[in-house]
Structure 1
Protein backbone atom coordinates (compact mmCIF):
# COMPACT_ATOMS: atom_id res chain seq x y z
CA UNK A 1 0.00 0.00 0.00
CA UNK A 2 2.82 2.41 0.87
CA UNK A 3 4.51 1.67 -2.46
CA UNK A 4 1.29 2.45 -4.36
CA UNK A 5 0.86 5.75 -2.51
CA UNK A 6 4.49 6.64 -3.28
CA UNK A 7 4.03 5.86 -7.00
CA UNK A 8 0.88 7.98 -7.12
CA UNK A 9 2.67 10.91 -5.47
CA UNK A 10 5.56 10.63 -7.92
CA UNK A 11 3.10 10.54 -10.85
CA UNK A 12 1.45 13.78 -9.63
CA UNK A 13 4.70 15.47 -8.76
CA UNK A 14 5.09 18.20 -6.22
CA UNK A 15 1.93 20.23 -5.50
CA UNK A 16 -0.07 18.15 -7.97
CA UNK A 17 1.99 19.24 -10.98
CA UNK A 18 2.93 16.38 -13.30
CA UNK A 19 6.67 16.13 -13.95
CA UNK A 20 8.13 16.60 -17.39
CA UNK A 21 8.22 13.54 -19.62
CA UNK A 22 11.54 11.91 -19.96
CA UNK A 23 13.17 11.16 -23.30
CA UNK A 24 11.56 8.14 -24.92
CA UNK A 25 8.16 8.68 -23.29
CA UNK A 26 5.03 9.85 -25.07
CA UNK A 27 4.01 9.40 -28.70
CA UNK A 28 6.66 8.88 -31.39
CA UNK A 29 8.17 12.09 -32.82
CA UNK A 30 6.72 11.55 -36.31
CA UNK A 31 3.19 11.99 -34.94
CA UNK A 32 4.03 15.60 -34.12
CA UNK A 33 5.26 16.39 -37.66
CA UNK A 34 3.07 18.43 -40.03
CA UNK A 35 0.79 16.43 -42.34
CA UNK A 36 2.03 15.39 -45.76
CA UNK A 37 1.27 18.04 -48.37
CA UNK A 38 1.56 16.74 -51.95
CA UNK A 39 0.98 20.20 -53.35
CA UNK A 40 3.85 21.89 -51.55
CA UNK A 41 6.45 23.98 -53.28
CA UNK A 42 9.47 22.35 -51.69
CA UNK A 43 10.23 25.27 -49.38
CA UNK A 44 9.35 23.61 -46.09
CA UNK A 45 11.94 23.46 -43.35
CA UNK A 46 13.78 20.17 -43.11
CA UNK A 47 11.64 18.42 -45.74
CA UNK A 48 11.47 18.40 -49.50
CA UNK A 49 7.99 18.27 -50.99
CA UNK A 50 7.41 15.86 -53.87
CA UNK A 51 6.25 16.89 -57.31
CA UNK A 52 2.69 18.24 -57.21
CA UNK A 53 -0.09 16.41 -59.00
CA UNK A 54 -0.55 19.13 -61.63
CA UNK A 55 3.14 19.10 -62.54
CA UNK A 56 3.18 15.32 -62.71
CA UNK A 57 0.15 15.38 -65.00
CA UNK A 58 1.84 17.97 -67.20
CA UNK A 59 5.00 15.90 -67.47
CA UNK A 60 2.94 12.87 -68.47
CA UNK A 61 1.16 14.97 -71.10
CA UNK A 62 4.47 16.24 -72.45
CA UNK A 63 5.78 12.68 -72.60
CA UNK A 64 2.71 11.57 -74.55
CA UNK A 65 3.09 14.54 -76.89
CA UNK A 66 6.73 13.71 -77.54
CA UNK A 67 5.73 10.15 -78.41
CA UNK A 68 3.04 11.49 -80.76
CA UNK A 69 5.55 13.61 -82.65
CA UNK A 70 8.05 10.75 -82.61
CA UNK A 71 5.47 8.67 -84.49
CA UNK A 72 4.91 11.41 -87.06
CA UNK A 73 8.64 11.93 -87.49
CA UNK A 74 9.12 8.19 -87.90
CA UNK A 75 6.54 8.10 -90.70
CA UNK A 76 8.21 11.06 -92.38
CA UNK A 77 11.64 9.41 -92.21
CA UNK A 78 10.28 6.19 -93.73
CA UNK A 79 8.75 8.02 -96.69
CA UNK A 80 11.71 10.34 -97.17
CA UNK A 81 14.43 7.72 -97.26
CA UNK A 82 12.24 5.22 -99.07
CA UNK A 83 11.54 7.57 -102.00
CA UNK A 84 13.78 7.85 -105.04
CA UNK A 85 13.43 11.64 -105.21
CA UNK A 86 12.68 13.85 -102.22
CA UNK A 87 11.02 16.25 -102.66
CA UNK A 88 9.24 14.58 -105.59
CA UNK A 89 9.76 16.00 -109.07
CA UNK A 90 7.39 18.86 -109.86
CA UNK A 91 6.74 19.82 -106.23
CA UNK A 92 7.80 23.27 -105.00
CA UNK A 93 10.84 23.53 -102.77
CA UNK A 94 10.34 24.59 -99.17
CA UNK A 95 11.40 28.10 -98.05
CA UNK A 96 14.54 27.15 -96.14
CA UNK A 97 15.94 30.66 -95.55
CA UNK A 98 12.71 32.31 -94.42
CA UNK A 99 11.84 29.38 -92.20
CA UNK A 100 15.36 29.53 -90.76
CA UNK A 101 14.74 33.12 -89.67
CA UNK A 102 11.36 32.04 -88.33
CA UNK A 103 13.14 29.35 -86.33
CA UNK A 104 15.27 32.03 -84.67
CA UNK A 105 12.09 33.92 -83.78
CA UNK A 106 10.63 30.88 -82.04
CA UNK A 107 13.90 30.20 -80.24
CA UNK A 108 13.89 33.83 -79.07
CA UNK A 109 10.42 33.24 -77.63
CA UNK A 110 11.85 30.33 -75.67
CA UNK A 111 14.48 32.67 -74.22
CA UNK A 112 11.89 35.29 -73.24
CA UNK A 113 9.77 32.59 -71.61
CA UNK A 114 12.81 31.41 -69.66
CA UNK A 115 13.44 34.97 -68.47
CA UNK A 116 9.79 35.25 -67.50
CA UNK A 117 10.00 31.93 -65.66
CA UNK A 118 12.78 33.38 -63.51
CA UNK A 119 10.57 36.33 -62.50
CA UNK A 120 8.12 34.00 -60.76
CA UNK A 121 10.28 33.65 -57.64
CA UNK A 122 10.61 37.41 -57.18
CA UNK A 123 7.05 38.01 -58.44
CA UNK A 124 7.73 41.21 -60.30
CA UNK A 125 4.29 41.57 -61.85
CA UNK A 126 5.25 44.24 -64.38
CA UNK A 127 8.20 42.25 -65.72
CA UNK A 128 6.09 39.13 -65.71
CA UNK A 129 3.40 40.72 -67.86
CA UNK A 130 5.98 42.22 -70.22
CA UNK A 131 7.73 38.88 -70.62
CA UNK A 132 4.51 37.01 -71.35
CA UNK A 133 3.41 39.68 -73.83
CA UNK A 134 6.72 39.48 -75.68
CA UNK A 135 6.66 35.68 -75.72
CA UNK A 136 3.11 35.60 -77.07
CA UNK A 137 3.98 38.24 -79.68
CA UNK A 138 6.93 36.21 -80.95
CA UNK A 139 4.68 33.16 -81.12
CA UNK A 140 2.12 35.07 -83.18
CA UNK A 141 4.85 36.31 -85.54
CA UNK A 142 6.05 32.73 -85.99
CA UNK A 143 2.55 31.59 -86.91
CA UNK A 144 1.96 34.50 -89.30
CA UNK A 145 5.21 33.88 -91.17
CA UNK A 146 4.47 30.18 -91.37
CA UNK A 147 0.93 30.82 -92.59
CA UNK A 148 2.19 33.20 -95.27
CA UNK A 149 4.68 30.60 -96.51
CA UNK A 150 1.96 27.97 -96.59
CA UNK A 151 -0.23 30.19 -98.75
CA UNK A 152 2.64 30.54 -101.22
CA UNK A 153 3.25 26.79 -101.25
CA UNK A 154 -0.43 26.11 -101.91
CA UNK A 155 -0.42 28.56 -104.83
CA UNK A 156 2.63 26.75 -106.22
CA UNK A 157 0.78 23.44 -106.08
CA UNK A 158 1.84 21.84 -102.79
CA UNK A 159 -1.37 20.66 -101.11
CA UNK A 160 -2.51 17.76 -98.96
CA UNK A 161 -3.77 15.99 -102.09
CA UNK A 162 -0.94 16.82 -104.46
CA UNK A 163 1.35 14.03 -103.19
CA UNK A 164 2.38 11.99 -100.18
CA UNK A 165 5.09 14.61 -99.72
CA UNK A 166 2.49 17.36 -99.31
CA UNK A 167 0.30 15.26 -97.03
CA UNK A 168 3.15 14.43 -94.67
CA UNK A 169 4.47 17.99 -94.72
CA UNK A 170 1.18 19.62 -93.74
CA UNK A 171 0.36 16.91 -91.20
CA UNK A 172 3.68 17.14 -89.37
CA UNK A 173 4.23 20.89 -89.56
CA UNK A 174 0.53 21.61 -89.13
CA UNK A 175 0.37 19.64 -85.88
CA UNK A 176 3.24 21.69 -84.52
CA UNK A 177 1.55 24.92 -85.62
CA UNK A 178 -1.60 23.89 -83.74
CA UNK A 179 0.51 23.33 -80.64
CA UNK A 180 2.04 26.80 -80.96
CA UNK A 181 -1.42 28.29 -81.44
CA UNK A 182 -2.67 26.52 -78.32
CA UNK A 183 0.34 27.78 -76.36
CA UNK A 184 -0.27 31.36 -77.51
CA UNK A 185 -3.94 31.16 -76.49
CA UNK A 186 -2.85 29.82 -73.11
CA UNK A 187 -0.50 32.77 -72.59
CA UNK A 188 -3.20 35.25 -73.58
CA UNK A 189 -5.58 33.66 -71.08
CA UNK A 190 -2.92 33.97 -68.37
CA UNK A 191 -2.46 37.66 -69.19
CA UNK A 192 -6.19 38.22 -68.76
CA UNK A 193 -6.14 36.42 -65.41
CA UNK A 194 -3.12 38.45 -64.30
CA UNK A 195 -5.08 41.65 -64.86
CA UNK A 196 -7.80 40.22 -62.62
CA UNK A 197 -5.20 39.41 -59.92
CA UNK A 198 -5.98 35.70 -60.17
CA UNK A 199 -2.32 34.73 -59.81
CA UNK A 200 -0.25 35.66 -56.77
CA UNK A 201 3.29 35.13 -55.53
CA UNK A 202 2.19 31.89 -53.87
CA UNK A 203 -0.37 30.74 -56.45
CA UNK A 204 0.98 30.70 -59.99
CA UNK A 205 1.08 27.05 -61.01
CA UNK A 206 -0.81 27.86 -64.21
CA UNK A 207 2.02 30.12 -65.37
CA UNK A 208 4.63 27.44 -64.70
CA UNK A 209 2.60 24.85 -66.60
CA UNK A 210 2.26 27.21 -69.56
CA UNK A 211 6.02 27.71 -69.50
CA UNK A 212 6.61 23.96 -69.58
CA UNK A 213 4.29 23.64 -72.57
CA UNK A 214 5.99 26.52 -74.36
CA UNK A 215 9.40 24.96 -73.87
CA UNK A 216 8.02 21.81 -75.50
CA UNK A 217 6.85 23.51 -78.69
CA UNK A 218 10.10 25.48 -78.93
CA UNK A 219 12.27 22.38 -78.44
CA UNK A 220 10.36 20.39 -81.06
CA UNK A 221 10.71 22.91 -83.85
CA UNK A 222 14.50 22.76 -84.56
CA UNK A 223 14.17 18.99 -84.96
CA UNK A 224 11.31 19.39 -87.43
CA UNK A 225 13.11 22.14 -89.30
CA UNK A 226 16.26 20.04 -89.70
CA UNK A 227 14.37 16.95 -90.88
CA UNK A 228 11.75 18.54 -93.13
CA UNK A 229 13.34 21.69 -94.54
CA UNK A 230 17.03 20.81 -94.72
CA UNK A 231 18.37 18.15 -97.09
Structure 2
Protein backbone atom coordinates (compact mmCIF):
# COMPACT_ATOMS: atom_id res chain seq x y z
CA UNK A 1 0.00 0.00 0.00
CA UNK A 2 2.80 2.37 0.83
CA UNK A 3 4.31 1.89 -2.65
CA UNK A 4 1.00 3.01 -4.15
CA UNK A 5 0.91 6.08 -1.92
CA UNK A 6 4.57 6.86 -2.72
CA UNK A 7 3.80 6.63 -6.44
CA UNK A 8 0.80 8.91 -6.02
CA UNK A 9 2.89 11.44 -4.10
CA UNK A 10 5.42 11.48 -6.94
CA UNK A 11 2.64 11.84 -9.53
CA UNK A 12 1.09 14.83 -7.80
CA UNK A 13 4.50 16.34 -6.98
CA UNK A 14 5.26 16.29 -10.71
CA UNK A 15 1.92 17.93 -11.52
CA UNK A 16 2.36 20.62 -8.88
CA UNK A 17 5.94 21.24 -10.03
CA UNK A 18 4.73 21.66 -13.60
CA UNK A 19 2.06 24.04 -12.36
CA UNK A 20 4.67 26.21 -10.62
CA UNK A 21 7.01 26.17 -13.64
CA UNK A 22 4.20 27.46 -15.87
CA UNK A 23 2.94 29.89 -13.28
CA UNK A 24 6.33 31.42 -12.59
CA UNK A 25 7.03 31.75 -16.32
CA UNK A 26 3.80 33.67 -16.89
CA UNK A 27 3.96 37.47 -16.64
CA UNK A 28 0.52 37.55 -14.97
CA UNK A 29 -1.26 34.75 -13.10
CA UNK A 30 -4.12 34.31 -13.55
CA UNK A 31 -4.08 35.86 -17.00
CA UNK A 32 -6.33 38.85 -17.62
CA UNK A 33 -9.90 38.10 -18.75
CA UNK A 34 -9.88 34.64 -17.15
CA UNK A 35 -12.63 33.96 -14.63
CA UNK A 36 -11.64 33.92 -10.99
CA UNK A 37 -11.80 30.61 -9.21
CA UNK A 38 -14.60 30.10 -6.65
CA UNK A 39 -12.41 30.33 -3.56
CA UNK A 40 -15.21 30.50 -0.96
CA UNK A 41 -17.33 27.62 -2.27
CA UNK A 42 -14.25 25.49 -2.79
CA UNK A 43 -13.16 26.32 0.76
CA UNK A 44 -16.48 25.03 2.05
CA UNK A 45 -16.10 21.99 -0.18
CA UNK A 46 -12.69 21.42 1.41
CA UNK A 47 -14.43 21.19 4.79
CA UNK A 48 -16.80 18.60 3.31
CA UNK A 49 -13.87 16.46 2.21
CA UNK A 50 -12.09 16.87 5.56
CA UNK A 51 -15.33 15.80 7.26
CA UNK A 52 -15.30 12.64 5.18
CA UNK A 53 -11.90 11.79 6.61
CA UNK A 54 -13.27 12.16 10.13
CA UNK A 55 -16.15 9.86 9.20
CA UNK A 56 -13.69 7.29 7.81
CA UNK A 57 -11.70 7.44 11.03
CA UNK A 58 -14.93 6.78 12.94
CA UNK A 59 -15.68 3.82 10.67
CA UNK A 60 -12.31 2.17 11.26
CA UNK A 61 -12.61 2.70 15.00
CA UNK A 62 -16.13 1.25 15.00
CA UNK A 63 -14.91 -1.85 13.16
CA UNK A 64 -12.13 -2.22 15.73
CA UNK A 65 -14.74 -2.17 18.51
CA UNK A 66 -17.01 -4.61 16.66
CA UNK A 67 -19.75 -2.00 16.15
CA UNK A 68 -20.97 -3.12 12.75
CA UNK A 69 -23.96 -0.79 12.37
CA UNK A 70 -21.94 2.25 13.42
CA UNK A 71 -19.17 1.28 11.01
CA UNK A 72 -21.69 0.96 8.18
CA UNK A 73 -23.18 4.37 8.95
CA UNK A 74 -19.75 6.00 9.07
CA UNK A 75 -18.64 4.34 5.83
CA UNK A 76 -21.87 5.48 4.17
CA UNK A 77 -21.32 9.01 5.49
CA UNK A 78 -17.77 8.97 4.14
CA UNK A 79 -19.09 7.96 0.72
CA UNK A 80 -21.89 10.54 0.80
CA UNK A 81 -19.46 13.35 1.66
CA UNK A 82 -17.09 12.20 -1.08
CA UNK A 83 -19.94 12.20 -3.60
CA UNK A 84 -21.01 15.66 -2.43
CA UNK A 85 -17.44 16.91 -2.88
CA UNK A 86 -17.34 15.64 -6.47
CA UNK A 87 -20.81 17.02 -7.21
CA UNK A 88 -19.82 20.50 -6.03
CA UNK A 89 -16.62 20.32 -8.06
CA UNK A 90 -18.59 19.24 -11.12
CA UNK A 91 -20.92 22.20 -10.65
CA UNK A 92 -17.94 24.55 -10.27
CA UNK A 93 -16.38 23.21 -13.45
CA UNK A 94 -19.62 23.71 -15.36
CA UNK A 95 -19.77 27.31 -14.21
CA UNK A 96 -16.10 27.96 -15.01
CA UNK A 97 -16.51 26.51 -18.50
CA UNK A 98 -19.56 28.75 -19.01
CA UNK A 99 -17.40 31.73 -17.99
CA UNK A 100 -14.72 30.74 -20.50
CA UNK A 101 -12.16 28.77 -18.48
CA UNK A 102 -11.45 25.69 -20.58
CA UNK A 103 -8.50 23.40 -21.18
CA UNK A 104 -7.80 25.39 -24.33
CA UNK A 105 -7.68 28.69 -22.40
CA UNK A 106 -3.92 28.44 -22.27
CA UNK A 107 -1.65 27.29 -19.47
CA UNK A 108 -3.99 28.63 -16.79
CA UNK A 109 -7.01 26.56 -17.82
CA UNK A 110 -4.92 23.56 -18.80
CA UNK A 111 -3.07 23.34 -15.51
CA UNK A 112 -6.22 24.00 -13.49
CA UNK A 113 -8.16 21.15 -15.08
CA UNK A 114 -5.15 18.82 -15.09
CA UNK A 115 -4.41 19.23 -11.38
CA UNK A 116 -7.97 19.40 -10.12
CA UNK A 117 -9.15 16.76 -12.59
CA UNK A 118 -6.42 14.35 -11.53
CA UNK A 119 -7.51 14.76 -7.93
CA UNK A 120 -11.18 14.32 -8.84
CA UNK A 121 -10.30 11.10 -10.68
CA UNK A 122 -8.52 9.86 -7.56
CA UNK A 123 -11.51 10.73 -5.38
CA UNK A 124 -13.73 8.80 -7.80
CA UNK A 125 -11.39 5.81 -7.66
CA UNK A 126 -11.35 5.99 -3.87
CA UNK A 127 -15.17 6.12 -3.87
CA UNK A 128 -15.32 2.94 -5.96
CA UNK A 129 -12.95 1.25 -3.52
CA UNK A 130 -15.08 2.59 -0.67
CA UNK A 131 -18.24 1.14 -2.26
CA UNK A 132 -16.59 -2.30 -2.36
CA UNK A 133 -15.45 -1.87 1.25
CA UNK A 134 -18.95 -0.81 2.32
CA UNK A 135 -20.43 -3.87 0.60
CA UNK A 136 -17.97 -6.15 2.37
CA UNK A 137 -18.73 -4.47 5.70
CA UNK A 138 -22.47 -4.92 5.13
CA UNK A 139 -21.83 -8.65 4.62
CA UNK A 140 -19.99 -8.84 7.94
CA UNK A 141 -16.59 -9.38 6.35
CA UNK A 142 -14.67 -7.37 8.93
CA UNK A 143 -16.21 -8.94 12.04
CA UNK A 144 -13.74 -11.81 12.00
CA UNK A 145 -10.73 -9.51 12.24
CA UNK A 146 -9.80 -9.56 8.54
CA UNK A 147 -9.67 -5.79 8.11
CA UNK A 148 -6.82 -5.36 5.62
CA UNK A 149 -9.18 -4.19 2.86
CA UNK A 150 -10.77 -1.64 5.19
CA UNK A 151 -7.42 -0.40 6.48
CA UNK A 152 -6.02 -0.03 2.96
CA UNK A 153 -9.16 1.79 1.82
CA UNK A 154 -8.93 4.12 4.82
CA UNK A 155 -5.25 4.87 4.19
CA UNK A 156 -5.94 5.71 0.56
CA UNK A 157 -9.00 7.79 1.47
CA UNK A 158 -7.01 9.79 4.03
CA UNK A 159 -4.26 10.32 1.44
CA UNK A 160 -6.71 11.67 -1.15
CA UNK A 161 -8.27 13.93 1.49
CA UNK A 162 -4.89 15.16 2.78
CA UNK A 163 -3.79 15.95 -0.75
CA UNK A 164 -6.74 18.26 -1.40
CA UNK A 165 -5.79 21.15 0.96
CA UNK A 166 -2.35 21.24 -0.69
CA UNK A 167 -3.96 21.54 -4.12
CA UNK A 168 -6.56 24.01 -2.87
CA UNK A 169 -3.92 26.34 -1.45
CA UNK A 170 -1.65 25.92 -4.48
CA UNK A 171 -4.27 26.44 -7.18
CA UNK A 172 -6.94 28.59 -5.53
CA UNK A 173 -5.14 30.73 -2.96
CA UNK A 174 -1.52 31.33 -4.01
TM-score by length of 1: 0.73
Instruction: Give structure 1 stretches of 5+ with no counterpart.
Output: 1-57
Q: Would the aligned equivalents of 2:68 and 2:143 in 1 still touch at CA under 8 Å?
A: no
How far off is 1:195 after superposition?
2.6
Supply the distance in 1 between the matched residues of 2:137 and 2:48 (Cα, whole angstroms): 25
How far off is 1:147 after superposition?
0.3
Which structure has more RCO (C-alpha within 8 Å, separation ≥ 6)?
2
How far off is 1:185 after superposition?
1.3
Say which of 114, 129, 134 aligns to 1:186.
129
Supply the distance in 2 between the matched residues of 1:144 and 1:192 (Cα, whole angstroms): 22
Q: What does residue 10 of structure 2 align with?
A: 67
How far off is 1:83 after superposition?
1.0
Structure ID, larger Rg = 1
Whether 1:212 and 2:163 are equivalent positions in the alignment is no
Q: Would the aligned equivalents of 1:121 and 1:201 in 2 still touch at CA under 8 Å?
A: no
Say which of 149, 152, 155 aligns to 2:98.
155
Supply the distance in 2 between the matched residues of 1:196 and 1:119 (Cα, whole angstroms): 15
Runs of 4+ in 1 over 3 A off after TM superposition: none
Instruction: Give structure 2 stretches of 5+ with no counterpart.
Output: none
Residue correspondences, number: 174
Instruction: Pick the structure with more helix per residue.
Output: 2
TM-score by length of 2: 0.96
